[in-house]
């Protein structure tokens, strides 16, 4: 039985048209004006925008990095439900191996976490946390298994590799035209700054951002882009948060480098005064990179408006305030890093970006869906409403208003960094590969998510 979505306005990164959309099975089969009902069930979507399902290219839905570390409050089941309820139909989660284990084992672990539990479609960026001949060999194997993107770290002692290792990994990834994203912060400097403040007895959350100033990010971005230039690899920068780092990107682009920049809602709507909240509230905002100044926030919005910033994902990594964040009560460096956000991205960007006139709805579609799909080899299966694509469709009601609240959220965590914020625009219903899975912010059909196999064409060398 096919479905005919009638009377809505279909939006892509390049424009909008009042057209009807026919879905048959998992696919969109027709997009045109005045389609006849034939044997389709008609769904009246007039007054709404039809947006391609949002893709979150940066989540840690379920994370537990080795001995003694904490597991995230969300897992694949709860995180993916929160995602799809508000319009995110696919996530690219960060698959992170433990030291000494193979990428293949990590992939198997992540498949086990997601398979049968996820309410949105999913794939992963494979993290490379150490470099040796067997990991090198596995790059090709990952790509053959449909994992075309990788993640590396310049900070966190348990995750980071050396510049030489980053360079070698880039050379290997380049052979297969894979995509690499890096967490850019100078890990040595972060360690020094933490040690300094701790030695001085400066232990409140106020000091967290001071251990990771903009120079720590900008230096790492500059160095990473220099290494990428040597390796001749187009690269992605995840969660870019500062004006100075964005200036490093502009310099790289002026020397003709291909660079992709991701930022996150927390750097666009929150700022670093929140670390000074009463009753240890600042701990709720401890993430890395940290929240930044208003000046940085403005620079990021400018980057979004002029195209220097390519995508917005969330870096969703949720820890409860009580019992998890509070373990750092006497020492900010022990507060687990990360914030929830997979649920709130569409409403925040619509409210703070589109309704303020900063960006068009078309630009929002590019930032949250189409350009992510293109960058990570999901396009045109995902990221666009056209015949042949997966029927991942968000029926967006621009008139709906709401208030973000920890009490009503679906994320399985005891707070939200956006508590009390008023929003405009909301997913009225959400289709995942042709099935209506969410309505009015509630999931009506869960665990329908599937692994998305990605393909890239190898380049000739
Ligand atoms: Zn992350």
- 315 C-alpha vs ligand 1 centroid, how far in Å? 5
Distance CA 291, CA 126 (A): 26
Q: Ligand 1 centroid vs 29 CA: distance in angstroms?
A: 36
Write the DSSP string, 297-338. HHHHHHHHHHTS--EE---B----TTTTGGGGTT-GGGSPP-
Cα 354 to averaged position of ligand 1 atoms, centre (Å): 25
pLDDT higher than threshold 80 for residue 461: no
* Per-residue confidence (pLDDT) for residue 1, from 0 to 100: 80
Closest among 378, 312, 416, 359 to 125, alpha carbons compared = 378
Mean pLDDT, rounded, for 97-104:
95
Question: In the predicted model, is pLDDT for residue 68 greater than 60?
Answer: no
Phi, psi of 455 (to 5 degrees): -125, 140
Give 398 Cα–ligand 1 centroid separation in angstroms.
30
Does the bond joining 440 to the residue before it have cis omega, within 30 degrees of 0? no
User: Cβ neighbours of residue 19 under 8 Å, at least 6 residues apart?
Assistant: 10, 31, 32, 33
Q: What is the mean pLDDT of residues 15-29?
A: 98
Ligand 1 centre distance from Cα of residue 208 (Å):
17
User: Distance, CA 460 to ligand 1 centroid (Å)?
Assistant: 32
Catalogue all structural domains in the chain, each as residue range(s) with its CATH number. Answer: 53-375 (3.20.20.140)
31 CA to centre of ligand 1 in angstroms: 36
Confidence bin at 459 (pLDDT 50/70/90): very low
For residue 101, name the pLDDT band (cuts at 50, 70, 90). Answer: very high
Instruction: Give me ligand 1 centre to Cα 58, in Å.
Output: 6
Contact residues for 153 (Cβ-Cβ < 8 A; gap 6+): 127, 129, 159, 160, 161, 182, 183, 187
CA 1–ligand 1 middle distance (angstroms): 40
Residue 426 CA to ligand 1 centre (angstroms): 26
pLDDT in tens, 271-283: 999 999 999 999 9
- Taking the centre of ligand 1 as the mean of its atom positions, its distance from the CA of residue 41, in whole angstroms, is 41
- For the segment 301-349, what is each residue's pLDDT rounded down to a tens digit? 999 999 999 999 999 999 999 999 999 999 999 999 999 999 999 999 9
In Å, the largest CA–CA distance within the chain is 74
**Residues facing 350 on adjacent strands:** none
Cα(158) to centroid of ligand 1, in Å? 14
Q: What is the pLDDT confidence band of residue 398, given thresholds at 50, 70 and 90? A: very high
Q: For residue 153, how far is its CA from the centre of ligand 1 (angstroms)?
A: 10
Q: How close is the Cα of 365 to the center of ligand 1, in Å?
A: 22
How big is the CA angle at 237 (ends 226 and 182), to the nearest 5 degrees?
Answer: 80
410 C-alpha vs ligand 1 centroid, how far in Å? 20
Cα 88 to middle of ligand 1, angstroms: 17
Model confidence over 251-274: pLDDT tens digits?
Answer: 999 999 999 999 999 999 999 999
**Interval between CA 45 and ligand 1 midpoint (Å):** 36
Instruction: Give me the chain's average pLDDT, please.
Output: 96
Burial (0-12, 13-18, 19+ Cβ within 10 Å), 278:
exposed
CB atoms within 10 A of CB 245: 30
Distance 3 CA to ligand 1 centre (A): 37
Question: How many angstroms separate the CA atoms of 3 and 406, rounded?
Answer: 35
Q: How far is the CA of 330 from the centre of ligand 1 (A)?
A: 25
- Measured CA distances, 26 to 172, 318, 358 (Å): 35, 31, 34
Q: Estimate the share of the chain in helix, then strand, then coil, as percent rounded to the nearest 5.
A: 35, 25, 45
Residue pair 98/62 in contact by the 8 Å Cβ criterion: no
Cα distance between residue 300 and residue 294, in whole Å: 10
How close is the Cα of 175 to the center of ligand 1, in Å?
Answer: 25
Q: What angle do CA 428, 59, 68 make, to 5 degrees?
A: 135
Cα(124) to ligand 1 centroid in Å equals 12
> What's the whole-number mean pLDDT along residues 5-27?
98
CA of 339 to the centre of ligand 1 (A): 10
> Where does 168-293 show beta strands of DSSP type E?
179-183, 235-237, 259-263
Give residue 59 CA to ligand 1 midpoint distance, Å. Answer: 6
Instruction: Measure 445 CA to ligand 1 centroid, in angstroms.
Output: 28
Helix axis angle, 214-231 relative to 187-199, nearest 10°?
Answer: 160
Rounded to the nearest whole angstrom, what is the distance from the C-alpha of residue 6 to the centroid of ligand 1? 39
Cα angle value 5/7/10 (rounded, 5°)? 75
Burial of 253 from C-beta contacts in 10 A (0-12 / 13-18 / 19+): middle
């Amino acid at each position: 039985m096919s479905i005919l979505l009638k009377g809505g306005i279909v939006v892509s990164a390049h424009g909008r048209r009042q057209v009807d959309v026919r879905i048959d099975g998992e696919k969109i089969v027709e997009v045109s004006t005045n389609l006849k009902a034939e044997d389709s069930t008609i769904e009246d979507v007039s007054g709404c925008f039809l947006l391609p399902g949002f893709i979150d290219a940066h989540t840690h839905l379920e994370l537990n990095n080795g001995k003694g570390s904490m597991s995230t409050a969300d897992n694949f089941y709860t995180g993916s439900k929160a995602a799809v309820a508000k319009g995110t139909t696919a996530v690219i989660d960060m698959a992170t191996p433990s030291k000494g284990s193979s990428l293949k084992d990590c992939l198997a672990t992540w498949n086990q976490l997601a398979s049968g539990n996820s309410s949105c479609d999913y794939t992963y960026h494979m993290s490379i946390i150490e470099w040796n001949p067997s990991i090198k060999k596995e790059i090709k194997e990952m790509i053959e298994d449909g994992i075309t993107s990788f993640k590396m770290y310049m900070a966190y002692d348990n995750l980071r590799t050396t510049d030489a290792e980053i360079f070698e990994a880039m050379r290997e990834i380049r052979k297969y035209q894979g995509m690499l994203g890096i967490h850019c912060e100078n890990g040595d400097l972060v360690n020094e700054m933490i040690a300094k403040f701790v030695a001085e007895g400066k232990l409140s959350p106020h000091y967290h951002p001071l251990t990771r100033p903009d120079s720590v990010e900008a230096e790492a971005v500059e160095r990473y882009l220099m290494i990428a230039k040597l390796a001749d690899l187009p690269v992605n920068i995840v969660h870019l948060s500062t004006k100075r780092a964005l200036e490093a990107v502009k310099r790289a682009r002026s020397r003709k480098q291909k660079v992709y920049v991701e930022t996150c809602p927390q750097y666009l709507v929150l700022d670093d005064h929140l670390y000074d909240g009463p009753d240890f509230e600042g701990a709720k905002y401890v993430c890395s990179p940290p929240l930044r100044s208003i000046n940085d926030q403005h620079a990021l919005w400018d980057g979004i408006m002029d195209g220097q910033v390519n995508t917005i994902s969330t870096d969703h990594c949720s820890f409860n305030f009580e019992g998890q964040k509070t373990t750092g009560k006497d020492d900010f460096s022990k507060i687990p890093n990360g914030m929830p956000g997979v649920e709130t991205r569409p409403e925040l960007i619509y409210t703070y970006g589109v309704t303020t006139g900063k960006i068009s709805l078309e630009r929002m579609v590019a930032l949250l869906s189409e350009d992510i799909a293109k960058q990570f080899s999901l396009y045109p299966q995902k990221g666009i409403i056209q015949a042949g694509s997966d029927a991942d469709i968000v029926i967006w009601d621009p008139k709906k208003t709401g208030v973000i609240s920890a009490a009503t959220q679906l994320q399985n965590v005891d707070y939200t960094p956006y508590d009390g914020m008023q929003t405009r625009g909301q997913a009225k219903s959400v289709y995942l590969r042709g099935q209506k899975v969410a309505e009015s912010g509630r999931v009506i059909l869960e665990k329908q998510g599937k692994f998305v196999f990605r393909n890239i064409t190898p380049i000739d060398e």
